[in-house]
Structure 1
Amino acid sequence: MTFRSILIATALWAGLSVPAFGFEATLTTTASGSVRNRLSAASSVLEAERDEITQPSDIIAAVQSDYRSLLGALYKSGYYAPVVRISVDGREGSTLSLITLPERISKVVISVDTGPKFTFGTAKIAPVTPETLVPLEFSTGKTARSGAVGTAKDAAIDGWRAAGHPKATLTDQSIVADHNTNTLNVDLGIGPGPKATFGELRFAGTKRVSPKRLEKITGAITGKTFDPELLDTAAARLRRTGAFRSVSITEADSLNADDSLDILATVTDAAPRRLGFGAEIDSLEGGTLSAYWLHRNISGKADRLRFDAEIGGLGSSTGVDYSIKANYRRPALTRPALTLIAEAEVSHLDEPNYLSDLTKLMVVAEKIISEHSYFNGGIGFRYSDVTDDVGQRNFSHVIFPIEGERDYRDNVMSPTSGTYFYAQIMPYLGLSGSESGARFYADGRGYLGFGNDDRFVFAARILAGSIVGSDTTTTPPDLLFYSGGGGTVRGQPYQSLNVDLGGGTETGGTSFVGLSTELRAGINEKLSLVGFADLGGIGANAIPDDTMNWHAGAGLGLRYDTGFGPIRLDIAAPVSGSTGDGVQIYVGIGQAF
């Protein structure tokens, strides 16, 4: 036999000796709808078939795992008298051994008879605090889903913990399925344990911030009545500083002799410095490049310093804008929830309606109200050198910025539910002949997901602004309102809607209303199609009225989910108004709103 023949024969033998055949798996059941789907999702055998598993040992392991997982899925749906059989090439799977394996498995049949659905007969849990809301699903006559038992237990324990009993636990339980009446009788006993206070708060981990400074940030809790919300707040305050890569808070296993509970907070420093870049482009405004440099924990007090630089209008006919900003934040200024913010900005704005060189300085105190909201206020100075249709002017103002935010979105970059609201009030006191007044601005958003796994999302946004005290000619143009472009009305040219003062003089408005709606539809896990419509109005009076000018735009877009935020592509055109025509293209990161 030639060497070539030996190679061919060896290859043929090797190919024939490898088990190359998958197995067939089927599920037959009396269940339907969501219960059948739950069984399919719980089955390791069906998953093994999808993954084209061929090794008998892996298949039999999946079979024996399925007895337990299928029962668990049925209990979650309220079925406590099922019959589960799994046939492996005609043999019951539970009788097979992983030691004596067949050479090959061809067919696995899963048969599930759910039996009758059970309801709760007795559904008791005690004692509970007066404030505890035991879930309604855990009550006599309701479907006896196993998850309802666990939810009720957790609610009772959480209620005691909120009342100052950190070691509340389940001490007794009786769960009996009555097959004559198809009922599940449950009686849970809760042991509240002693009411406790906070003991010593200790800090551990890799950290440059001193324990004394860390406790100033979290707030002193030693001696206070135990409250899990105080622990959540302390962890949130540490994370919010941005100085730490990770934060975890652990309760001691047992109470001290004086019924106090020690707490350990473990923190790990984040990298002290960070550099970032960004880019956006649209067909009219041109390209925008941005970069930032961040130094965390710059003085060892969990403070941070950040510099931002941006250049916009690249390749556009509207002119090039640029800005440089510096921002310093120091948490726990005089109390844990109070943060000092100092900002400085120098910018050059070459906009369609004006040219402005701006310098601004501010010092602000920010109050964290909750993990979802904040409020801040301060004082500052701004100077701008402006040229527009009105002429060349200088503006000097002492400003008193006040703003607040309430954010209940489920995801900041791509929300599918929740609401968002932001409001700003900025009184300004004129110097050197500049007019005094105040600027008001608000941004409200809402999101509603529907369909399987929120495949569809309806999003809406309302914008409103007003300036009182100074008018269109005595207010700095960068404080006035304009409409058009990616941030207001897509499909309309950037800042194309303004106020016509006559004689060829145009400027921004002292009132503004904007409305945007989007319907986002998921095509697959990564790609979504978006339809949108935007409306904007600008007026010369502080209060919106029937003299306002309006325009609108609409279009379609695509979103590609990158994992850290969607890449956005929008194509839009005008649908009303006389401010523009043609198609506008917008590309960026994150949803439009």
Structure 2
Amino acid sequence: MQGVSVWLGSAGTTAVALALLSAPAHAQDAVLVDQPSAPAAVTEGLPNDSLRAGSVAIPEPPAEAPLPQVDPIIPDEEFNSAVPELSVDDDPELDRPLESIESFERRIAGQEADVAPTEGQALPAGDGALADQDPVEEIGDAPIRDAELAAPLPPLDQFEVAPVQFAEEEALGAEARVDYVVRLEGLDPADGSTDADLRDMFENLSALEKADGEAANVAMLSARLDEDAELLKTILASQGWYNAQVRTRLDQSAVAEGGAVAAVIEVAPGKRYTFADINIEAEPTVPPNLIAENLPLQVGNPIVAERVQAAEARVALALLQNGYPFAELGERDILLDQTTGDGVYTLPVDVGSRARFGGFNTEGDLAFGVEHIRTLARFEKGELYDSRKVDDLRKALIATGLFSTVSVEPKRTGEAAAEGAEYVTMLVRQDAGPPRTIAASAGYAAGQGFTLEATWTHRNMFPPEGALIVHGVAGTREQGAGVTFRRANAGRRDRTFEMIAEGLRSDYNAYNALTGRLAARVSYDSTQIWQKRVTYAYGAEVLGTAEREYDFSVGERRRRTFYIASLNGQLGYDTTDDLLNPTEGFRVTGLLQPEGSLQGDFTPYVRARLDASAYHPFGESFVLAGRVGFGTIQGAERSEIAPSRRFYSGGGGSVRGFGFQQLGPLDPNGDPIGGRSFNEGSVEGRYRFGNYGIVAFVDVGQSYASTKPKFSDLRYGIGIGGRFYTNFGPFRIDVATPLDRRAGESKINVYVSIGQAF
């Protein structure tokens, strides 16, 4: 039997519980509607399985509701007495084993044969008959009425297949190569609010655009179309269109006429969300508007993901640069109103404690100690913490070349500092790297031939940063070796002290020399990491050289020995953007060398030169570069000056198109003898494409016997060069030829080296 139990709450709500109350036990297991559990007041008096938990949705009445007492429709005693007890004694069928499927099918087939209906007639209901109204299908091993079903299948070679006839031919084959065009429709709404660069963003990332209008088949084209639809949704959401609708389709209307399939993406951008309010949740800072001034988001601006991220990065950077090393930005929250298109932006910021620089500490595999770290730092104790100065220290440590890894981070001390701040200790974690290096370089230049240089360096043999360098040169025109001691950051950041001892053999057309040299030098130079505006160097050297030169008094070359002492000073000013490959700015360098001969009477004189260069870009690929140089020797006759200390012109770093030192005064044999002055100039047009470049140039120059340049008899060289740009500078090959070539001068001169010519 079926029954309905109803409960009426005091508030007038009604709950209905349906329960199957059939006598057989298995009927009580029927699955009811999946609803929350019924209250106990409803289930009271019903069998346990008749209304299971989760069957009926009945709201709980209030606990304080005055519920009326309701008597059950059928008391428990009466219901239990009315249900008969079943046992094996009463019905032996309950204890029989289950019938097998095969036996069941045979029995059913036999019953169907006894009551076989006419075609279309339903079986009568009752014992041994199926109660449904559908014609009975033969099952099991019942007899087969249709002889065709029992007939064996024909052999495959005799099986006839009729081709499928389509109503009309497909316009596009599923396996054929597909040519297509991309159509983007609806991206620009009527109000013109869509950013103009959205199409460019889509085209740069689109899978359809990258394939250049070709797909292997329709499936591939469809996959790309779906991928680009999701891409466009992402792009629009990143620009503030969060409810954009994107649909795609393949338009084959032009295929029949030999045209391409159109991959169409239809866009309905919808409403663009804008900032309605901007909230910063943070403790007060010094200055008070530090965060607000560095968060360039304004009410009314569209919510663009890239701008939001950039604004937050700017806030984080501003805090780190203004005394807050422990500041952290929390997770942003943007509450969007779909009705108005407004967005309320909230950014929590934990500014942390304000800090000033304190002391230093270091740990790990040390290359040097705290005192040298303090020398490298460009900040003093008590200065307001600034992450830029910390980054500068980290770069200085890396530039030493002594570490595999190195890091610098602030650590809280709890020690009070001025203006409510606290001191932080800078912890330097060191991991010393291999201190030894072997390096080599090679080059070629007309007049100089091939040159191979090699060095062995122990960068920290005398800590801190005391390097021992053994170097050698083997070339067509030069051979030599030497030892250098160099201490970097010597007592001051970026200051270098060097002591050099070397011997060199030179064999040029201008002179043949055997030279020994001792020198000391202090310099403040630019490096690839720090290119400085102002540089300087000063030092002294003593050398002895035996040189063969042309003696006009006897009309032949004779060897002379010179002992020379020299002081030198150099000053430079540099505004260019790169040390080895400048593209803008200018450089000026002046060199002054008072020196004299120590052989016999002391003969002092002064060598001086001035070099300047400038660079101007035209667009991103072309640079126009120019250079001028002048030199003079004052205070001595040419014969009193060692040939290797005179001025010469010509070569890869001077006037290309001529051999090394080939310009200037000549002896009767046509070999250069050097002069006491020179002037030079160059103009280059540099065009770069990717990692490669082409250079066209014109060089001009001459050296003179007089102490002042005459600007007469100038020689010109023109040429073209190639560049391969690397991370350590350009590799260059220049080919040049002299204009108005004279007897004995080469038609073509080649120069190979690293770095631009100037």
Using the size of structure 2 for normalisation, the TM-score is: 0.59
Q: CA separation in 1, counterparts of 2:291 and 2:588? A: 31
Of the three residues 647, 653, 664, the one matched with 1:487 is 653
Q: Which residue of 2 aligns with 1:325?
A: 482
2:704 is equivalent to residue 539 of structure 1: yes
User: Is the 1:163–1:227 contact (alpha carbons within 8 Å) kept by the matching residues of 2?
Assistant: yes
Letter in 1 for 2:591: Q
2:440 is equivalent to residue 272 of structure 1: no
2:476 is equivalent to residue 309 of structure 1: no
Of the three residues 553, 571, 579, the one matched with 2:735 is 571
Structure 1 residue 279: deviation in Å?
1.9
Structure ranking higher in strand proportion: 1
Structure 1 residue 145: deviation in Å?
7.7
Q: Which residue of 1 aligns with 2:360?
A: 201
SS at match of 2:640: coil
Q: Which residue of 1 aligns with 2:182?
A: 26
SS at match of 1:329: strand
Q: Which residue of 1 aligns with 2:85?
A: none
Q: Deviations over 1:49-70 (max 9, x none)?
A: 8998959989866753553245
Q: Which residue of 2 aligns with 1:394?
A: 561
Structure 1 residue 553: deviation in Å?
0.7
Of the three residues 332, 342, 358, the one matched with 2:499 is 342
Letter in 2 for 1:396: Y
Q: Which residue of 2 aligns with 1:378?
A: 539
Alignment of 1:500-519 (within 5 A): 507-519=673-685
Bigger RCO (CA 8 Å, 6+ sep) = 1
Q: Deviations over 1:402-423 (max 9, x none)?
A: 2345556555444444545544
Q: Which residue of 1 aligns with 2:694?
A: 529
Structure 1 residue 518: deviation in Å?
1.9
Sort the Cα spacing of 1:395 and 1:34 in 2 relative to 1 into closer, same or farther, 3 A: farther
Question: Paired residues, what number?
Answer: 545
Q: Which residue of 1 aligns with 2:86?
A: none
Alignment of 1:455-474 (within 5 A): 455-474=621-640
SS at match of 1:389: strand
SS at match of 1:544: coil
Q: Which residue of 1 aligns with 2:401?
A: 242
Q: Which residue of 2 aligns with 1:557?
A: 721
Letter in 1 for 2:456: W
User: Is the 1:201–1:222 contact (alpha carbons within 8 Å) kept by the matching residues of 2?
Assistant: no
> Larger Cα Rg: Structure 1 or Structure 2?
2
Q: Deviations over 1:350-380 (max 9, x none)?
A: 2221222222212223346992234332232
2:423 is equivalent to residue 260 of structure 1: yes
Alignment of 1:174-213 (within 5 A): 195-213=354-372
2:448 is equivalent to residue 281 of structure 1: no
User: Is the 2:514–2:546 contact (alpha carbons within 8 Å) kept by the matching residues of 1?
Assistant: yes
Q: CA separation in 1, counterparts of 2:722 and 2:497? A: 40
Q: CA RMSD in A?
A: 5.0
User: Is the 1:251–1:263 contact (alpha carbons within 8 Å) kept by the matching residues of 2?
Assistant: yes
Q: CA separation in 2, counterparts of 1:178 and 1:461? A: 63
Sort the Cα spacing of 1:584 and 1:52 in 2 relative to 1 into closer, same or farther, 3 A: farther
SS at match of 1:239: helix
SS at match of 2:389: helix
Of the three residues 563, 584, 587, the one matched with 2:749 is 584
2:435 is equivalent to residue 435 of structure 1: no
Alignment of 1:57-456 (within 5 A): 64-69=230-235, 71-72=237-238, 75=239, 80=240, 86-87=246-247, 109-111=264-266, 161-167=320-326, 195-218=354-377, 221-252=380-411, 256=414, 258=416, 259-312=422-475, 314=476, 320-367=477-524, 371-373=530-532, 374-390=535-551, 392-405=559-572, 409-432=576-599, 433-451=601-619, 454-456=620-622
Letter in 2 for 1:439: R
Q: Which residue of 2 aligns with 1:37?
A: 200
Q: Deviations over 1:240-275 (max 9, x none)?
A: 3232244432334x6745312232323333322222
Please list every run of 5 or more consecutive structure 2 residues that lacks an aligned counterpart in the other structure.
1-173, 189-193, 252-260, 417-421, 552-557
Sort the Cα spacing of 1:226 and 1:564 in 2 relative to 1 into closer, same or farther, 3 A: closer
Q: Which residue of 2 aligns with 1:14?
A: none
Sort the Cα spacing of 1:550 and 1:89 in 2 relative to 1 into closer, same or farther, 3 A: same
Q: Deviations over 1:203-229 (max 9, x none)?
A: 344444344444444478444432334
Q: Which region of structure 1 is more displaced relative to structure 2, 274-283 or 415-424?
A: 415-424
Letter in 2 for 1:555: G
User: Is the 1:343–1:363 contact (alpha carbons within 8 Å) kept by the matching residues of 2?
Assistant: yes
SS at match of 2:633: strand
User: Is the 2:738–2:747 contact (alpha carbons within 8 Å) kept by the matching residues of 1?
Assistant: yes
Please list every run of 5 or more consecutive structure 1 residues that lacks an aligned counterpart in the other structure.
1-17, 92-105, 315-319
User: Is the 1:206–1:268 contact (alpha carbons within 8 Å) kept by the matching residues of 2?
Assistant: yes
User: Is the 1:202–1:265 contact (alpha carbons within 8 Å) kept by the matching residues of 2?
Assistant: yes
Q: CA separation in 2, counterparts of 1:134 and 1:466? A: 57
Q: CA separation in 2, counterparts of 1:216 and 1:564? A: 27
Structure 1 residue 510: deviation in Å?
2.5
SS at match of 1:499: coil
Q: Percent identical across equivalent pairs?
A: 24
Structure 1 residue 235: deviation in Å?
2.5
Sort the Cα spacing of 1:414 and 1:121 in 2 relative to 1 into closer, same or farther, 3 A: farther
Structure 1 residue 288: deviation in Å?
1.6
User: Is the 2:521–2:537 contact (alpha carbons within 8 Å) kept by the matching residues of 1?
Assistant: yes
